[in-house]
Amino acid sequence: MDPDLAFEVWSGERAQRIENVLAGALSPQAGIPAPLIDAMRHAVLDGGKRMRPLLAYAAGELAGADPAVVDAPAAALEMMHAYSLVHDDMPCMDDDELRRGKPTVHKEYGEANAMLVGDALQALAFEALVAPLRETIGRGRATLPVAEMVSVLARAAGAAGMAGGQALDLAAVGARLERKQLEAMHQLKTGAMLASAVHLGLLGGGDLSAKMRQAATDYSEAVGLAFQVVDDILDVTADSATLGKTAGKDQAQDKPTYVSILGLAESQALAHQLGLRARQALEPLGPRAGSLARLADFIVHRVY
């Protein structure tokens, strides 16, 4: 099969797989207020690139993990990501009205409910991560490094990761950052969660060799920065209909970006270089890293 078609089939199957897992986790349940679960479903389902779950599945494939084992961390990653978007879109943050081609949660359900949706999704992410393993953990027969998986997700989402990066992002509005400062901010805000997706997928396969850990670290650093560089490029080159969110927002809010610091052409060249670096990091791991390599290409060449 043509490699492009094979990747398209693979990514489509995995995207549908995580959609089904998420729909099940967010199904109406006794004891959960219906308006809250409706708003949570609005935030998570039927939209998004599912990049973090795809990275987790691809990394799990590299480590020889059954996709069924990766379902839990993949769902947890997407819930954590969705929570961050809900809060990021609120008036106290970026004050946006469009996300994934739909009204943002605070526009559709109100600000107070949006805050609760984010809180509930963050909690549900950890529940989703450990729930399938509860029985084996209770019997002392856990076969996966559950404590490490929880720690990886918590750190990536917290003050040393996504939340810390968002704090730096808020403080940078109107400022003129050096490139190293911008990279440090985005390694936390964007890169930490993308790296955790790779790490969690690998952990689904059990113990990791030092060689695999190092390759995953180098790969994750490259794709994390590439994702943000391309985001900054698309903010000035794509329209809102294509992006599913408001285009031109960074410039309107006077945020430092790769484009504002380096210019468009140099930012595009940087994205290409980071994609090559990501692929090179995977070379020692052989063909089983193929899906991760194709995801690096997608991240660099994506149009939304």
Structure confidence at residue 136 as a pLDDT band (50, 70, 90): low
pLDDT digits (tens, 9 = 90+) for 268-287: 999 999 999 999 999 999 99
Q: Domain map of the chain by residue range?
A: 3-301
pLDDT digits (tens, 9 = 90+) for 30-61: 789 999 999 999 999 998 899 999 999 999 99
pLDDT of amino acid 135: 52
Residue listed under structure tokens 């490699």: 3
Q: What is the mean pLDDT of residues 61-89?
A: 96
Q: What is the mean pLDDT of residues 144-170?
A: 94
pLDDT of amino acid 57: 98
pLDDT of amino acid 47: 85
Q: What is the mean pLDDT of residues 96-120?
A: 96
pLDDT of amino acid 30: 76
pLDDT of amino acid 191: 96
Structure confidence at residue 2 as a pLDDT band (50, 70, 90): confident
pLDDT of amino acid 96: 94
pLDDT of amino acid 105: 98
Whether the pLDDT of residue 143 is over 70: the answer is no
pLDDT of amino acid 3: 76
Q: What is the mean pLDDT of residues 289-298?
A: 96
Share of the chain above pLDDT 70, in %: 96
pLDDT of amino acid 207: 73
pLDDT of amino acid 104: 97
pLDDT of amino acid 199: 95
* CATH no. for 3-301: 1.10.600.10
pLDDT digits (tens, 9 = 90+) for 198-218: 999 999 987 778 899 999 999
pLDDT of amino acid 134: 61
The pTM of this model reads 0.94
pLDDT digits (tens, 9 = 90+) for 230-270: 999 999 999 988 888 988 888 888 899 999 999 999 999 99
